[in-house]
Amino acid sequence: MPTVSDRGKLMPDSPIRKLGPLADKAKEMGRKVYHLNIGQPDLPTPPEALEAIRNIDRTILEYSPSEGIRSFREKLVKYYHKFNIEVTVDDIIITTGGSEAVTFAFMSCLDPGDEIIVPEPAYANYEAFAIVAGAKIKSIAADIEEGFALPPIEDFEKLITPKTKGIMICNPNNPTGYLYTQEEMNKIRDLVKKYDLYLFSDEVYREFCYTGAPYISAFHLEGIEQNVVLIDSVSKRYSECGLRIGALICKNEAVRHNVMKFCQARLSPPLIGQIAAEASLDADDSYMLNNYNEYVNRRKFLIDGLNRIDGVYSPIPMGAFYTVARLPVDNADKFCAWLLSDFEYENQTIFMAPASGFYTVPNKGIDEVRIAYVLKKEDLAVCLTILKEALKVYPGSKVREKVAGSEIN
């Protein structure tokens, strides 16, 4: 029998999706499963996008240009201008989702054996994309007690070797919701400049920043314009995950030239997805404002509710629509699986993503989960009740141990 690849063996399971079969079995048993595991917004896609799809008037659904439809990229230039990100149409390359943008960025900038420094917890697929490129993630863990703030920049510098080629950040952050400050971004900029590194910056959640401070893009950092590779996607801001439309934005012509070779090899990004994404840019300002306000309300409701449960702690996320919460359990992976396979409360249960999968540092996040607040408040209220009740009876619950100890005393 032929053997499978070592590369495939190295690819990590998705902490977001790996428990999917257990969720399916729970549903087959008649249980309602609330999905807090995945960043799939439940808010409606812009009507402009849906209308554009319904009104496609073509006799052939042809290949688009490998770099994406020009009119779409021209509209994106105006969109980025609203955030003081000044780019040209030639700086923008449309990709098949933000995932392809990261993959092509790594493939175009890194050689096998090169290293990327990534603060963790981090979006789990960054490690997978690095493996595809033959690169290595050098991780540095942020602390939940510090609200997942950027670790000391001196700790970053200790990880730099002759093989270090870049730093990868997600701002606002997935999975923690942390929003990097101007001071933190300046420290990253100085390190990038000092060692002439790439700064790969995933900024797909820029619309969802919940502080009074201005949003800081990697393109706002002076002196490293040629080092920045910005990653974007329409999936989250427009509830268009299924369109698979992202973008790679870079002012470095040599990088773009390399990226285009990979774009040409995969032929073209999705045509219909681009048509819908371009139309979404015409959405009224009220569309994004309503979504923003909804996430603000959900965030407050969820975080307040989590921190009222005995033994649970979540810092307040300042961006995106996720939080990482610490639970009073022996092992969050086991707990999340148990919720789906062995627990129900009024014939309902919850599906959360174990946070250990967002770390490469061994034993980090063992008692943490990522929760996506992509459900309406009424559903979040039910989820909080389910979590509270589950912690009372889970065999590895520290709350249960505490209650049992109190009874003995």
pLDDT by residue (tens digit) across 315-330?
999 999 999 999 999 9
Q: Quick one: pLDDT at residue 283? A: 97
Segment 384-400 shows an average pLDDT of 93
Q: Quick one: pLDDT at residue 404? A: 54
CB 249 within 8 A of CB 98: no
Segment 212-225 shows an average pLDDT of 94
Nearest to 204 by CA among 263, 246, 265, 243: 246
Segment 69-84 shows an average pLDDT of 98
State the amino acid at position 247 in one-letter form: A
- Give the pair of three-digit tokens for residue 91: 């700086």
The answer, yes or no, to whether residue 160 has pLDDT greater than 70, is yes
State the amino acid at position 98 in one-letter form: G
Interacting residues of 159 by C-beta distance below 8 A, sequence separation 6+: 115, 117, 138, 140
- Is residue 168 within a helix (H) or strand (E), and if so which, with residue range? strand 164-170
Fold for the domain defined by 57-280:
Aspartate Aminotransferase; domain 2 (3.40.640)
Segment 289-293 shows an average pLDDT of 97
The CA distance from 186 to 205, in Å, is: 20
The answer, yes or no, to whether residue 360 has pLDDT greater than 60, is yes
With pLDDT > 70 as the criterion, what percentage of the chain qualifies? 98
The answer, yes or no, to whether residue 408 has pLDDT greater than 50, is no
User: Poorest-confidence range of 41-45, 211-215, 237-241, 333-337?
Assistant: 211-215
Q: Quick one: pLDDT at residue 377? A: 97
- Give the pair of three-digit tokens for residue 3: 């053997």
Burial of 112 (0-12, 13-18, 19+ CB in 10 A): exposed
Please state which CATH class domain 6-44+286-393 belongs to.
Answer: alpha beta
- The CA R_g of the chain, rounded to the nearest whole Å, is 22
Burial of 193 (0-12, 13-18, 19+ CB in 10 A): middle
Q: Bigger pLDDT: 9 or 72?
A: 72
Order of strands, sheet of 246-250, starting from the edge strand that comes earlier in the sequence? 92-95, 246-250, 228-233, 198-202, 164-170, 115-120, 136-141
Interacting residues of 48 by C-beta distance below 8 A, sequence separation 6+: 279, 280, 282, 283
What is the DSSP secondary structure assignment for residue 1, as one 8-state letter?
A: -
User: What is the location of CATH 3.90.1150.10 in the chain?
Assistant: 6-44+286-393
Q: Quick one: pLDDT at residue 57? A: 94
15 pLDDT band (50/70/90 cuts)?
A: confident
The answer, yes or no, to whether residue 205 has pLDDT greater than 80, is yes
The CA distance from 9 to 349, in Å, is: 32
State the amino acid at position 360 in one-letter form: T
With pLDDT > 90 as the criterion, what percentage of the chain qualifies? 91
- Partners of residue 94 on adjacent β-strands: 247
Segment 390-399 shows an average pLDDT of 92
The answer, yes or no, to whether residue 195 has pLDDT greater than 90, is yes
User: Poorest-confidence range of 112-121, 246-255, 398-407?
Assistant: 398-407
Q: Quick one: pLDDT at residue 6? A: 86
405 pLDDT band (50/70/90 cuts)?
A: low
Nearest to 339 by CA among 4, 23, 66: 23
Segment 119-148 shows an average pLDDT of 95
Segment 137-152 shows an average pLDDT of 96
State the amino acid at position 330 in one-letter form: D
| 165-190 per-position pLDDT tens digit | 999 999 999 999 999 999 999 999 99
362 pLDDT band (50/70/90 cuts)?
A: confident
Q: For residue 169, how many C-alpha atoms fall within 13 Å in the half-sphere facing its CB?
A: 29
Q: Quick one: pLDDT at residue 409? A: 44
User: What is the location of CATH 3.40.640.10 in the chain?
Assistant: 57-280
Q: In the predicted model, what is the mean pLDDT of the chain?
A: 95
Q: Quick one: pLDDT at residue 400? A: 63
